[in-house]
Structure 1
Amino acid sequence: MTGLAAAEIDRLLLKHPKGFDLALDRIRRLLARLGDPQHRLPPVLHVAGTNGKGSVVAFARAILEADGKAVHTHISPHLVDWHERYRLGRVGGGRLVEDAVLAEAIARAAKANDDEPITVFEILTAVTFLLFSEHPADAALIEVGLGGRFDATNVIDQPAACVISTISLDHQSFLGDRVELIAAEKAGIIKRGVPVVVGHQSEAIAADVIRTAAARAKAPLSLYGEDFFAFAENGRMVYQDERGLLDLPMPRLAGRHQLTNAAVAIAALRAAGFDPSDAAIAAGIVAAEWPGRLQRLTAGPLAKAATPGTEIWLDGGHNPGAGLVIAEALAEMEDRVQRPLFLIVGMINTKDPLGFFAAFLGMVRHVFTVPVSASDAGIDPDILADAAIEAGLDAEPCDSVEEAIRLVCTNWQSEPAPRFLICGSLYLVGEVLALSGLPPR
């Protein structure tokens, strides 16, 4: 990243520690000095969860924009550029914040902080509230960075609705090593009397923890599978809640799990009182984009390095729950064409590689493990290959994604052409998108 905002962020990184220090006192202090902009936002959907929260935000934004609304959007993390975190709404479609506008807001927040202890993420979250309070819009979609209870975004007292997507093990060193502990942290975004919409939970204990927290806060609860759900029928998506059925086109985003994420977005918008039209819901389901989540790569040097007919897919999934839904989506692709599947995987050392690899047992021809150069926490490819082998997969380390693709395409002469999945880290996906000239817009 280059530009004025990059220079401001570089200055922050020199002064303040990288990483997370989960607490709210520092950001509350900073926001008070900035005039508490978090209290001057348009109606907010506050979205937490382990997997799927970004997709829920993408669907919600697309539906609201199709309904003629201006929608601010905060996501975390970004893939290629910090600007991705801040999309300023306007009717007809929001745009990533301009560099000079972002740089000025960062400088203002840093000056207000006056070099007091704080994390860079907290300053940049304060920037979210500054930007979103100073630019008019009809809605703000704010994705939690980590956890929920002590995440820097959790200073919004009265969101229009709180959303908790699917929960699984991730960030255990910060959130706990059991699903119920992680669910309790995510449920920390629940506010008294504010509607809560909850995505599919594969472990009942996660739903139970959220249900208890919602009851304690007297917050109306809508749970996927009980109060609303979605399924595919005759090439269409069917959504159902207490209002009845919606017959919708299938989502543009690949994978059966995206039906669930789309359903959560619809339920959340309705719970928050936005009540988009049926036509807007249908249009948004088709229009929603979410880079790096089962994204087909068709341009750039990696695509050019592959033999004709080869498929290259990207997905930033990096925990056991994500592995399962990605594997399910790939299995559905194999129903159409039986291609040999090769994984190209890079991960950072806060993840569970064994749990992730286990989801692909019996599906994968070979695994190539690669460095994650965008993070100083990347797992050594030799160690990552050992984890894949321990999970029962054939694996070997490789110097780069491009080398792995060339190795297979040079030696694979049979039909059909291979399918690659580049996965295991959002950092790795971001590297690939940058290399391919396809940064999120």
Structure 2
Amino acid sequence: MALHPKGYDLSLDRIGRLLERLGNPQDRMPPVIHVAGTNGKGSVTAFCRAILEAGGLTAHVHTSPHLVNWHERFRLGAEGGGKFAEDGVLADAIRRVAEANRGEQITVFEILTAVMFVLFSEHPADVAIVEVGLGGRFDATNVISRPAVSVIMPISLDHQAYLGDRVELIAAEKAGIIKQGAPVVIGEQPEDAARDVLIATAERLRCPYTVYGQDFMAFGEHGRMTYQDEDCLLDLPSPRLAGRHQYANAAAAIRALKAAGFSLSDEAIAKGVESVEWPGRLQRLTSGHIHDLAADDSEIWIDGGHNPGAGKVVAEAMANREEADSRPLFVIAGMLNTKEPRGYFEPFVGIARHVFTVPLHMSDAGLDPVALATDAAEAGLSAEAVDDVESAMRKIAATWSEWDNPPRILIGGSLYLVGEVLKLNGTPPQ
């Protein structure tokens, strides 16, 4: 970070030159599941990994950003379940990539993407699941020439300065990971304009494609999940990940694995859906320092969603929790200054009793809490700025009494905030 402090600079020239010096490790990877989208990328990645491992296969996994430790970006496939790259292995790969770069201008994400390709090409696995960092067309991961499948998850407004200010423009950028003739899975799309762009791109490149809601789907019924496509109907456990949107994410993962040519038993799919883990996305804290600051029997949830699309699904998940009417919802939020706070907060109107806004101590680009509280108030919420998450937790606990129903507390608005909370809580991702 000290050597390459530059933020986003979307281009494939620097990463292409660096990878060539490294012997083009991206061409020596196991079959790649390439995942893009505004929301749901991480969840579909987690579902794919869980189902593959339940079926006895090994999977490398690349995700970004990390929440607490840099190692989280590089999970190496192994029998019995993948593990984060160890210190020595990761340090050696970073050293070799840095030497190959020869001190030339490059971004941190490009260096780390090259590290991912080196690690994934040198360690055996049955599959590599690669999550796009930003956009798609010019993302550093988009040097993969022939993915086993390209997956495009829900698209909404985010990173407008880099990707465009209309959903169809953003969809065109995400569609950049679609490659000639390679299978495409289009996840649930809240915007018809985005779906139309993705379909048109797949057809132009003569790719076999399937679309959520048209060729495959999933829904919950009687505490179970039903998955359906053109050739099967599966009765599955409800996804372990919270929120109704996870049915669609699980369905996209199942469809992606089938499109990539993996033959997995119904039992493996069921086990994966039921055992999946994805830290920081509607994750419930049940122990730890932050948990212990709450009033007895409180529900505490953390979620890194940070755009209007994420705000909608997270608010819906909070409203649909059991005892939602009897448990008042409090939101503790911190956000980057590149986001759209009002769009994130608006779905919580009528659901959240009060919002506490906090600074992001793990980023220099955090939005001032006072300004963020103003955004929440303009969205129609009761809001105030406080010094940190611990202060907000203590304020909620101090105003509680044994005669009140214990609160539901959501801490979110940024993956940086979620990472800070997991670190403070003593429960980093494993």
Q: Same fold (TM over 0.5)?
A: yes
Q: Which amino acid aligns with 2:91?
A: A
Give, as a single letter, the amino acid of the residue that structure 2 aligns with 1:107. Answer: R
Name the CA distance, whole Å, in 2 between partners of 1:57 and 1:18. Answer: 27
State the secondary structure of the residue aligned to 1:302: helix
Deviations 1:44-97 (A, max 9, x none): 000000000100000000000001001000001110011000000012101000
Q: Give the C-alpha shift of residue 337 in structure 1.
A: 5.6
Tell me which of 269, 278, 300 is aligned to 2:257: 269
Is 1:40 aligned to residue 21 of structure 2?
Answer: no
Q: Which residue of 1 aligns with 2:318?
A: 330
Encode CA deviations 1:173-199: one digit per residue, 9 max, x unaligned: 111111111100000000000010011
Is it true that 1:241 corresponds to 2:224 in the alignment? no
Superposed displacement of residue 244, structure 1: 2.2
Unpaired segments ≥5 residues, structure 2: none
Q: Which moved more, 1:336-345 or 1:191-200?
A: 336-345
Alpha carbons 2:345, 2:376 under 8 Å: kept: yes
The 10-residue stretch of structure 1 (411-420 or 219-228) with the greater mean CA deviation from structure 2: 411-420
Residue 78 of structure 1, aligned match among 63, 66, 88 = 66
What CA distance in whole angstroms lies between the structure 1 residues aligned with 2:422 and 2:46?
18
Residues 337 and 128 from structure 1, CA distance in 2 versus in 1: closer, same or farther, beyond 3 angstroms? same
Q: Percent identity?
A: 65
Shift of residue 386, structure 1, vs aligned partner: 0.3
Q: 1:281 aligns with which of 240, 253, 269?
A: 269
Q: CA RMSD in A?
A: 0.9
User: How far is the alpha carbon of 1:117 from its aligned partner?
Assistant: 1.2
Check whether the contact 2:357–2:369 (CA below 8 A) recurs between aligned residues: yes
1:133 aligns with 2:124: no
Kindly indicate whether residue 197 of structure 2 is the aligned counterpart of residue 219 of structure 1.
no
Tell me what 2:135 maps to.
Answer: 147
Counterpart in the other structure of 2:390:
402
The amino acid of 2:427's aligned partner reads L
1:411 equivalenced with 2:393 (yes/no): no
Q: Determine if contact 2:51/2:272 at 8 Å carries over to the other structure.
A: yes
Equivalent-residue separation in structure 1 for 2:41 and 2:4 (angstroms) = 28
Distance 2:366 2:227 in 1: 40
- Work out which of the residue numbers 374, 394, 410 in structure 2 matches 1:421: 410
Q: Do 2:12 and 2:138's aligned partners in 1 also have CA atoms closer than 8 Å?
A: yes
The correspondence of residues 64-75 of structure 1 with structure 2, limited to 5 A, is 64-75=52-63
> 1:370-416 CA distances to partner (integer Å, 9 max, x unpaired)?
00010000000000000000001000000111111111111122421
- The amino acid across from 2:369 in the alignment is P
Specify the alignment match of 1:21 in structure 2.
9
For the 8 Å contact 2:295–2:400, the answer to whether it is kept is no
Give the structure 2 partner of residue 198 of structure 1.
186
For residue 236 of structure 2, give the secondary structure of its aligned residue in structure 1.
strand
Give 2:198's match in structure 1, choosing from 206, 210, 219. Answer: 210
**Structure 1 alignment gaps of length 5 or more:** 1-12
Among residues 11, 31, 42, which one is paired with 2:19 in the alignment? 31
Give the direction of change, closer, same or farther, for the CA distance of 1:94–1:314 in structure 2 (3 Å limit): same
What is the DSSP-based 3-state SS (H/G/I as helix, E as strand, rest coil) of the residue aligned with 2:321? helix
Letter in 2 for 1:40: R
On the 8 A contact 2:354/2:383 being kept in 1, the answer is yes
Q: Please say if residues 16 and 143 of structure 2, whose CA atoms lie closer than 8 Å, have aligned partners that are also in contact.
A: yes
Q: Is the 8 A contact 2:289 2:426 kept in 1?
A: no
1:365 partner SS: strand
Q: Structure 1 residues 330-339 or 342-351, which shifts more?
A: 330-339
Q: Distance in 2 between matches of 1:385 and 1:334?
A: 28
The yes-or-no answer on 1:319 pairing with 2:321 is no
- 1:336 is displaced (CA, Å) by 5.5
The Cα of 1:335 is off from its aligned counterpart by 5.0
The structural deviation recorded for 1:311 is 1.0
Find the aligned partners of 2:108 and 2:379 in 1 and give their Cα distance.
37
Runs of at least 4 residues of structure 1 off by over 4 A?
Answer: 334-337
Q: Deviations over 1:146-175 (max 9, x none)?
A: 000000000000010000001111111111
Tell me the TM-score normalized by structure 2: 0.99
Aligned residue pairs total: 429
SS class of match (1:289): coil
